[in-house]
Amino acid sequence: MSTPNRKLSHIVIVLVICMAVALPCGADNAASGVVDSQTFLQRNGTPAGPPANAYTAAVEKLLGQMTLKEKIGQMTQLEIGMVTDGRGQDIRINPEKLHKAVGEYGAGSILNVNDEALPAAKWQEILRAIQDEAKKSRLRIPVLYGIDTIHGANYIVGSTLFPQPLGMAATWNPELMLRGSQIAAAETRKAGIPWSFSPVLDAGRQPLWPRLWETFGEDTYLGKVMGVATVRGYEGSDLSSPVSVAASLKHYVGYSYPTTGGDRSPALIPENTLREYFLPTFAAAVKAGAHTVMVNSSEVNGIPGHANGYLLKEVLRSELGLQGFVVSDWMDIKKLVSVHHVATNEKEATRIGVMAGIDMSMVPSDYSFSNLLLELAQEGKVPTSRIDEAVRRILTVKHQLGLFDDPLRGIDSKTAIGSEESRQVSLEAARESITLLKNENHTLPLSKTAHILVTGPDADSLIPLNNGWSYTWQGDRASAYPKDRATILKAIQEKIGPDNVTYAPGTTYDKEIDIAKAADAASRADAAVICIGEWAYAETPGNIPELNLPDAQLYLVLRILETKKPVVLVLTEGRPRIINRIADSAKATVMAYNPSNEGGQAIADVLFGDVNPSGKLPITYPRWANRLFTYDHKVFEGEDWGEGKMLGAPQFEFGFGLSYTSFAYSDLRVAPSATSGNQTVRVDVTVKNSGERAGKEVVQLYLSERFASVTPTSKRLKRFAKVSLQPGESRRVSFELTPDDLSFIGADNKRVVEPGVFDVKIGGLQQSFEWK
């Protein structure tokens, strides 16, 4: 093997999607209904305009007019309670508070809700008052308002909510992700809010972590594609558009891999691992033009995210090329003292954070940051040049959003919040996310004339269909949810008629209610649909000590299994809870994730065959609570998942998902078998719908190198395409790879491509090629 540092800048490996009939390679895939991941990235990787340099003169002029206190004000972000009184629907602007925050301190940003979602009209009233106060200030600098738009405009009453990001990743359909993000952006901007604290680009590789459902799953490439789709959907082609919002990539970086699995707890990640699995999603989104980044609340390798100048300046700025600004997370500069103990007092913590690269501080409930940074600047401990740098970035983004021209842009747009058309997009996303994990003896779809028992804690509530960041932070307030959306139970009743449905809840999330009643009802039914999983949670309140499903739910399933009636498990959960005690005996298992307000209908559509499921797992579903690993793990001694040796196998593998039809792969070709220099390699495969009904299949291309200077993974996803096929229809499918797809992070923490033999794996087929 030659030196790892050998340059391969001339290599191009080409694998392009083509129809089986004589379409030329590179033909427009849209014409054939194919969603090709790499083509999607190429088409949506152009940053939104207008460019930052269009405002250089205006920003420098304004910066030259600002006092030191005014500059520091722009770096200050306060929560809504600092300018209002009351909570929930009773919230109202307090003019004295507002004047202090915006008029006296010149706060550059305000965020959040106070307790629960508000109607758009109420948001507009609040934003108008805030911007009117800003207009009274000496320099009339608009305030940048930010909010957590996580799965739709979830803090606006009546908005369109989509499946949580993990469910969106399960669609493997970036076009749907793009469309949903466009709708979320337009509805957020309609309220007068131009900044969203999303997407979460943390790699979901720790299944205990309570924010797993906010991620796009464990795979770096899938996360890159869906992350770029979100950024493009939010920011569009013109950030100043009344239907665009600025994205905030979070939580940079390594936040999602805590050693204990607990939120905001330390992670130990070697730098080559950090660069291999955790940085690429951020890099792709920055390249696509994302305008802001939010920082990891915890620490990596003993260095808090808010004190890590290497990651915030050398990597994020110099390597990734971020042009916008960096915002802290909630109170995290204060936590450099109270949690991380790297500063003896808040003043020192403020200096550390700002000098590490924090441009805007989410204080958020007092004026300590402004006061302390002013002292530090006057004492020469934070140079004015660093403050100017941060403020320049903040003012530029405000210009790019069009706030100086119209701080309330979007309020007068034609966007209809929660329109029927938008709900249909959400329903389509929910349907495509649902993943059929088991279907023994074709138990599904169920007959619409059958008598069905519906049971389980998640059967008759919208709360587990949505999870956190849904009208409230924790998403657990039933009164906040719309009354006209169907739970799983109600959707099934609507589908087959209430007389054909018996309902018994059986348990709450973790306590028995009427298991005996549910079992008795099951004995008299044709089949039992048991809706189990999780309730709602967000962030630290979602911490759990282990992944096993609560005993009450397991006992409910076991009792019903004793009746010998077919059992269908419907899992509504934000992370994979262990089901090994019941999975083998259930006849069918459906993973629904958190499919949103339209999820009840989507689940019923799949259960009764009106929709053919096409979701694929974006995570590895573990079989054992203490045997957690991702699909792209390094091969370990004794790994053997053959018949009779299932101890090490996951319950369900990454990328897995069944259909009501079948697909056959054939004729995988790689040519030439050996290449070098600037030669191309083409890989083609035929996929056929070999079943009796139309369906969608996700064609997944995995690549592995047999030998490398750093131990290679078992395989890595490199490309995918979701294709729709009629019964008997075939399609010739290929992809396009670049030299980067053959690369890995070497022992020196630099990306390298090494000569060797590469195996291409698609649909159970395998071919190899050699690069010399």
Q: What distance in Å separates the CA atoms of residue 170 and residue 431, rounded to the nearest whole number? A: 10
Cα atoms in the Cβ-side hemisphere of radius 13 Å centred on 438: 19
Strand boundaries in 715-763, DSSP class E:
716-725, 730-734, 744-745, 751-752, 756-762
Helix 346-356, helix 368-378: angle, nearest 10: 80
**CB under 8 Å to 56, separation ≥6 — which residues?**
none
Annotated catalytic residue, options 202, 329, 605, 684: 329
143, 183 contact by CB (below 8 A): no
Distance CA 64, CA 84 (A): 32
CB 235, CB 194: distance < 8 Å: no
Q: Phi and psi (nearest 5°) for 211?
A: -110, 15
Task: Tell me if residue 329 is catalytic.
Answer: yes
Q: What backbone torsions phi and psi does residue 696 show, to the nearest 5 degrees?
A: -115, 135
Q: How far is CA 500 from the centre of its chain?
A: 38
The pair of three-digit structure tokens given for residue 537, joined into one six-digit string: 């949670």
Question: Helices 56-65 and 384-400 sit at what angle, rounded to 10 degrees?
Answer: 130
- Three-point CA angle 265, 270, 273, nearest 5°: 100
Nearest Cα residue to 192 out of 401, 35, 482, 36: 401
What the block records as the tokens of 77 is 């972000």
Phi-psi group of 192: left, alpha or beta (phi > 0 → left; psi -120 to 50 → alpha; rest → beta): left
DSSP class of residue 81? G
Closest CA to 189 of 224, 238, 228, 227: 238
The H or E element containing residue 76 is strand 76-79
Instruction: Kindly list the catalytic residues.
Output: 329
